[in-house]
Chain A
Amino acid sequence: MLFVFLQIGLYLGVLLLLVKPLGLYMARIYGGEHTFMTPVMEPIERLVYRASGIKQSDEMDWKIYAVAVLLFNMAGLLLLFIIQRIQGFLPLNPQALPAVAPDLAFNTAISFATNTNWQSYNGETTMSYLTQMMGMTVQNFLSAATGMAVLIALIRGFTRHTINTIGNFWVDMTRSVLYVLLPLSLVLSIVLVSQGVVQTFDGAQTVSLLQKTQDINGQTISEQAVAVGPAASQIAIKQLGTNGGGFFNVNSAHPLENPTPFSNFLEMLAILLIPAALCYTFGRMVGDTRQGWAILAAMTLIFVAVLIVSVWAEQRGNPVLASLYIDQSPGNLQPGGNMEGKELRLGIADSALWATATTAASNGSVNAMLDSFTPLGGLTAMWLMQLGEVVYGGVGSGLYGMLAFVIIAVFVAGLMIGRTPEYLGKKIEAFEMKMASIMVLVPVLVVLLGTAIAVIIPEGKQAVFYNPGPHGFSEILYAFSSAGNNNGSAFAGLATNTLFYNIMLGFVMLIGRYWVIIPALAIAGSLARKKIIPVSSGTLPTHTMLFITWLITVIIIVGALSFFPALSLGPLVEHLMAK
C-alpha cells in the first residue's frame, strides 16, 4: 500500500508543481508577450498567418468568433471524413486497409473534431497510417487548440470592458498549436519512444511464436504479426490535448502504446497538465492568481475524493471471485485486487489513477478496461464525466465549463445574501445565468435522453449482448455520458459500431460540444461589453475556502440530482448484487 500512496502523491505533487510555470508561460503566449519559444516559433506563426490570410490585429465580436470556430471545426471534420473514405487509394497504408464504412467515418470524424475521440473503430485493423497522421493527429491538435482558444476568449470577457470584441480566433488557435501543444508533444513523443512506444512507417512485424497455438477454427498458428506504426507522435498529443483516441484498439493498455510504468506516469501527467495549468493562466490573465488557485483547489478536492473511492474499490478485488481458491491480496509479489482487464506492469494503483484522471479530464484514453472495473470503480469514472467534465476537464473546455458553474454559484449565492451577483468585477445578470445554465444542462439532457432512447428501441438494446443485467444498462449510460461530455472512454463491451450508435452518438457529441462553446462565447461577448465595478465591502470574495466549498457543493448537487436515478439502475444496483 505504501507504493500506492507514493505514486499517487508523486503524481499530484509533480502536476501541481508544473501548474505555475506552464500556466505563466501560456498567459504570456496569449498576451502576445516574448518568451523563450518566440525565436523558434514566431517565423512559423507568421508563415501560417500569411498563408491563411490572417491579420493578427483583426478583432472579432463573439458572433464572428463563434462562426470562425464552427467553420474551422466543420472543415476539419469534413477533411477527416474524406481521408477515411479514400484511405484505400492513399499512400502509407502497408496493411492495405480499405475505406472506412460511411457511418463509422461519420462518427469518427465528429469524434475527433469535437475533442471526444470516442473509438467505435479498432485502430490497428481500420485506420491507415496516413489516416492516423493526417486525419486524426491533426484533429487532436486542432480540437484541443479550439478549446483553448474559446477559453481565452471567455477570459477576455472578464478582463476587457465596454468593448464588443473578444480577440481573434485564428491567432488564439494558432498560438495554442505552435507554442503550447507542438513543443510539448515533440518532447513527450521522443521520451515515449525511449520507453518502447513504436514510431515507424513499416507494416506489421512478423515474429515466430515460441509455442505454436491454434485459432478458433483449429488452424495452427506459428507466427505473430506485431502491429506497429507511427504511434508515439499521435499518443503524445492524444494525452496532452485531452483527446484520448488511441493508436491501437486497447489504447494505452497496449504495451507498444504504453510500455513501462514511466511511460504510464508521463502519459497520465500529460492528461491533466494543460487543464490544470490553464487555471493559473486564468488567474494571471484576470490579474488575481488567487482566483485561479481557488478553482484549481475545487477541482483537486473533488478529484482526490473520487480517486480514493476508485483505488479502494479496485484494490478490494472482485467479490464474486473471492469464493474461489485464488489470492487477490496486494503485496510486493503481486498487485492483487481486481486484475481482470488490467495490465500487470500497471497494477491497481496506476490503473485506478489513470481511470480517474482520464474521466476527470475529458481525455478518454484508457490503460485498463473500464468495463471490467468493479461496480463502484466504474461508477466513479462515469460520474466524473456526468459532472460535465469540469474537474480539470478538457484543455480549455474544462475551465470554461467550470466558469459556467462559477457563474451559477455566484448567482445563487448573490440571491441568498440579497446582493447583486458579481464575479471579477463583472455583474452577473440574467443573460449570463441563462447561458451558463445552457452550458450545464444541455449535456445532461442529451446524455439522459440518448440513454432513454437507446434502452427503448431494439437497435439500442441489441448492442448489449455481452454483459447481462444492470451492467448492460451501465454500458449504455456510460456511452452517452462519454459522448455528451466529449470524453471518449467507453465500457467497451457495448457493440457500438452499428448504424444506430454511430449516428446517434455522433449527434450527441456535436450537441455536447457546440452547445457549450456557443453560450460560452456569448457570455464572453456580454461580459466584455460591461463596465468593471470596483471591489466594495458588498463583493462576495471568490478565492476563499468558503467559496471553494460552495462551488464544489453546486457542482455536486447538479451532478448528483441529474444522474442519481440513472446511476441507481446501473452501477449502484450492481454493487448491491455483488455482495
Chain B
Amino acid sequence: MSDKSSILHQLRIALKCLVVLTLITGIIYPLIVTGIAQIVFKYQANGSLIAENGKRFGSELIGQPFSDPKYFWGRLSATTPYPYNASASSGSNYGPLNPELDEEVRARIKVLKTVDPDNMKPIPVDLVTHSASGLDPHISIAAATYQVHRVAFVRGLSEEIVNALVTRYTEGRQFGFLGEPRVNVLKLNLALDQLPGQTGSSKM
C-alpha cells in the first residue's frame, strides 16, 4: 500500500476534516441562522411570547393548564410533575387498548359533565385525549363550542358574546387548506378576562 492510501493517512484526514466541518456546520451555520433569525424574526425566534407592560402572559404557541369552569379548557397534558410543564414536553404514550387510557378518558368525561350537567352533546374527542407534546395550545372549534354554554353561565355573560370571542380566536386552515381549524385556548381566556366586569384573578 502506498502512503497515500494507508490507514494512518486516512485517519489524519478524518480528524482534520472533522474539526473543519464541525466549525462550519456546528458553529458558523447555527450562528448565521441565529443572527438572521434574531434580526428578521425576533418575536418568533424567542418563543412568540405574549407580553404587555413588561409582564409575560405566556407563549401563544404553548398551552397552559385550565381547570376553572370560567375558562375554556385545553387538551389533556401528560407532562410531569404538573400539566403543561413547558420544560419537559411529553405525550401519554398510552397504547390504544391501555386500560389507564380508558380510565382517564372516563374521568375527564365525568369532570366535564359535573361542571356542565345540562350539556347533552357528545364530547369532542380532542377534549378528552392527551396531546402529543403535552403543550398543545389549541382545541378544535367543536371542543370550544361545547364549552361555550358553561363559560358563559359561570361568568354571567351571554352566549353570543362568548361565541363571538371564540370566532375571533379561531384560526382557519393555513392558506385555506393546510392543517386543522383550531382555537387558541390561552388567547381566548386572556380575552375573556379582559371583558368589562371580568376579573383576571382566579381561584385554583
- Which positions in A face B, CB cutoff 8 Å? 3, 6-7, 10, 44, 47-48, 51-55, 58, 60-61, 64, 67-68, 71-72, 74-76, 79, 122, 124-125, 133-135, 137-138, 141-142, 170, 174, 177-178, 182, 185-186, 189-190, 193-202, 204-217, 220-221, 224-228, 230, 232-234, 236-237, 248-250, 253-256, 259-262, 264-265, 317-318, 320-321, 324-328, 331-347, 350-351, 366-369, 371-375, 466-469, 471, 474, 491-493, 574, 577-578
Which candidate, B148-156, B157-165, B180-188, is the interface stretch facing chain A? B180-188
B132 touches A367 (CB 8 A): yes
- Asked whether, in the complex, the Cβ of A338 is within 8 Å of the Cβ of B96, the reply is yes
Contact B97 A320, beta carbon cutoff 8 Å = yes
B41 touches A193 (CB 8 A): yes
A201 to B143, CA, bound (A): 37
Per the bound structure, the CA–CA distance linking A55 and B150 in Å amounts to: 73
Q: What is the chain B residue whose CB lies nearest that of A3?
A: B177
A198 & B45 in contact (Cβ 8 Å cutoff): yes
**8 A-B residue pairs with CB within 8 Å:** A44-B24, A198-B47, A254-B133, A256-B47, A261-B174, A344-B131, A371-B91, A577-B97
B18 contacts A by Cβ under 8 Å: yes
Q: CA A230 – CA B26 in complex, angstroms? A: 11
Contact indicator A221/B5 (Cβ below 8 Å): no
What chain A residues lie within 8 Å of B63 (beta carbons)? 255
- Which A residues touch B114, using CB under 8 A? none
Does chain A have a CB within 8 A of B10? yes
* A98 nearest CB across to chain B (Å): 16
Contact B125 A254 (CB under 8 A): no
Contact A466 B7 (CB under 8 A): no
Question: For the complex, is B34 an interface residue (Cβ under 8 Å from A)?
Answer: yes
Specify which of A207, A318, A345, A469 is in contact with B49 (CB 8 Å cutoff): A207
Which of B58, B133, B141, B177 contacts A210, CB < 8 Å? B58
Residue-by-residue, is B117-158 near A (CB-CB < 8 Å gives 1, otherwise 0)? 000011111101111111111111111010000000000000
Contact of B136 among A210, A228, A343, A574 (CB under 8 A): A343
Q: Is B53 an interface position by the 8 A CB rule?
A: no
Question: Are the CB atoms of A260 and B125 closer together than 8 Å?
Answer: no
| A327 close to B122 (CB less than 8 A) | yes
Of the candidates B45, B102, B179, which one forms a contact with A320 in the assembled complex, judged by CB atoms under 8 Å apart?
B102
Q: How far is the CB of B55 from chain A (nearest CB, A)?
A: 7
Q: How far is the CA of A220 from the CA of B81 in the complex (A)?
A: 11
Across the interface, A133 reaches (CB within 8 A) one of B15, B26, B65, B204, namely B26
**B179, A52: Cβ atoms under 8 Å?**
no
- How far apart are A55's CB and chain B's nearest CB, in angstroms? 8
Known: A185-B29, A224-B64, A226-B86. A53 touches B105 (CB 8 A): no
Q: State whether A212 and B204 are in contact (beta carbons under 8 Å apart), knowing that A68-B14, A256-B62, A374-B96 are contacts in the complex.
A: yes
Q: Which residues of chain B from 1 to 26 have a CB within 8 Å of any chain A CB?
A: 4-5, 7, 10-18, 20-22, 24-26
Contact residues, B95-112 vs A (CB, 8 A) = 95-99, 101-102, 105-106, 109
Q: Is the interface of A mostly helix, strand, loop or mixed?
A: mixed
Interface residues on B, range: 35 or more
Contact A233 B30 (CB under 8 A): yes
Tell me if B40 and A210 are in contact (CB < 8 A).
Answer: no
Partner of A207, one of B12, B18, B56, B67: B56
Closest CB-CB distance, A571 to chain B, in whole Å? 10
Contact at B94–A371, with CB atoms within 8 Å?
Answer: yes
> Once the chains are docked, how many angstroms separate the CA of A51 from the CA of B186?
53
Determine which residue in B17, B18, B22, B136 has the highest number of CB atoms from chain A within 10 A of its CB, and name it. B17
Known: A209-B65, A210-B193, A211-B202. A321 touches B125 (CB 8 A): yes
Q: Bound state CA distance, A170 and B46, in angstroms?
A: 37
Closest to A51 in B: B20
A250 to chain B, nearest CB (A): 4
Contact residues in B for A202 (Cβ distance below 8 Å): 46
The answer to whether B46 touches A198 (Cβ under 8 A) is yes
Contact of B14 among A71, A225, A331 (CB under 8 A): A71
Q: How far is the CB of B8 from the nearest CB of chain A, in Å?
A: 10
- Whether A67 pairs with B97 at a CB distance below 8 angstroms is no
The answer to whether A340 touches B140, judged by C-beta atoms less than 8 angstroms apart, is no
Chain A residues lying within 8 Å of B29, measured Cβ to Cβ, are 137, 182, 185-186, 233
Q: A254-B133, A340-B92 are known contacts; what are 17 more A-B pairs with Cβ within 8 Å? A: A54-B13, A137-B26, A174-B21, A215-B81, A216-B82, A254-B135, A256-B47, A324-B105, A324-B128, A334-B140, A334-B141, A341-B131, A343-B132, A344-B182, A345-B138, A347-B179, A372-B92
B126 touches A334 (CB 8 A): yes
* Complex: chain B residue closest to A50, CB-CB: B20
Q: Interface digits, B47-91 against A, CB 8 Å rule (1 contact, 0 not)? A: 111100001111101111111100100010000111111111111
B167 within 8 A of A: no
Bound form: Cα–Cα A204–B47 in Å: 10
Q: Given the interface contacts A54-B13, A221-B82, does A134 sit within 8 Å of B68 by beta carbon?
A: no
Looking at B98, B143, B193, the one whose CB has the most chain A CB atoms below 10 A away is B98
Kindly list chain B residues whose C-beta atoms are within 8 Å of the C-beta of A182: 24-25, 29
Tell whether, in the assembled complex, residue A342 and residue B40 are in contact, meaning their CB atoms are under 8 Å apart: no
**Across the interface, do A493 and B182 meet the contact criterion of CB distance under 8 Å?**
no
Question: Please, which residue of chain B has its CB at the minimum distance from the CB of A368?
Answer: B132
Return chain A residues, CB-CB under 8 Å to B99. 468
Determine if A215 and B82 form an interchain contact, defined as CB atoms under 8 angstroms apart: yes
Residue in B13, B95, B133 whose beta carbon sits within 8 Å of that of A53 in the complex? B13
Chain B: CB-nearest residue to A323: B102
Closest CB-CB distance, A261 to chain B, in whole Å? 2
Query: A250-B91, A340-B130 known; A199 and B10 CB under 8 Å?
Result: no
Residues of B contacting A327 in the complex (Cβ-Cβ under 8 angstroms): 121-125, 142
Q: What string of 1s and 0s marks CB contacts (under 8 Å) between B31-51 and chain A?
A: 011101110110011111110
- Tell whether, in the assembled complex, residue B5 and residue A260 are in contact, meaning their CB atoms are under 8 Å apart: no
Residues of B within 8 A of A369 (CB): 91-93, 132
Q: Would you call B106 and A196 a contact (CB within 8 A)?
A: no
The residue in chain A whose Cβ has the minimal distance to the Cβ of B190 is A210
A210 touches B202 (CB 8 A): yes
| Interchain CB contact under 8 A, A54 and B62 | no
Q: Which residues of the other chain, B, contact A225 by a CB distance below 8 angstroms?
A: 86-87
Q: Which of B65, B96, B101 has the most CB of A within 10 A?
A: B96
